[in-house]
């Protein structure tokens, strides 16, 4: 059984004005090492989707959290890979 790909991007709100946004599509096997980081930082992983209103509502709170020096936020979009160009990337550019 093939694992569906997850659309993943690291939150870097200071860099959202850049014209090109790279959002890799990863399998769970590729994502897993990112979930088990070591070091002095606290990593927050949030699963969300553009079609999930409560998810969209909480994104500004993750933006604020990501500004703290020892915290890094990893947002994992559960949007379908075929919606990357039509929904996900336009959403990221707008917000």
Pairing mode, strands 42-48 and 71-77 = parallel
Which two structure tokens, joined as six digits, stand for 57?
Answer: 């509502």
pLDDT digits (tens, 9 = 90+) for 48-87: 999 999 999 999 999 999 999 999 898 889 898 888 888 9
Share of the chain above pLDDT 70, in %: 78
Alpha helices in the chain (DSSP H): 28-35, 53-66, 89-94
The residue extents of the domains of the chain are 6-94
Q: Please, what is the average pLDDT of the chain?
A: 79
Query: What's the predicted TM-score (pTM) here?
Result: 0.68
């Amino acid at each position: 059984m093939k694992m569906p790909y997850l659309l993943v991007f690291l939150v870097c709100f200071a860099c959202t004005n850049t014209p090109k946004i790279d959002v890799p599509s990863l399998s769970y096997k590729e994502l897993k090492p990112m979930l088990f980081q070591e070091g002095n930082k606290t990593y927050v992983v949030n699963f969300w989707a553009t079609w999930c209103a409560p998810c969209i509502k909480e994104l500004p709170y993750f933006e604020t959290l990501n500004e703290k020096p020892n915290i890094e936020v990893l947002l994992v979009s559960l949007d379908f890979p075929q919606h990357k160009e039509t929904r996900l990337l336009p959403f990221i550019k707008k917000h």
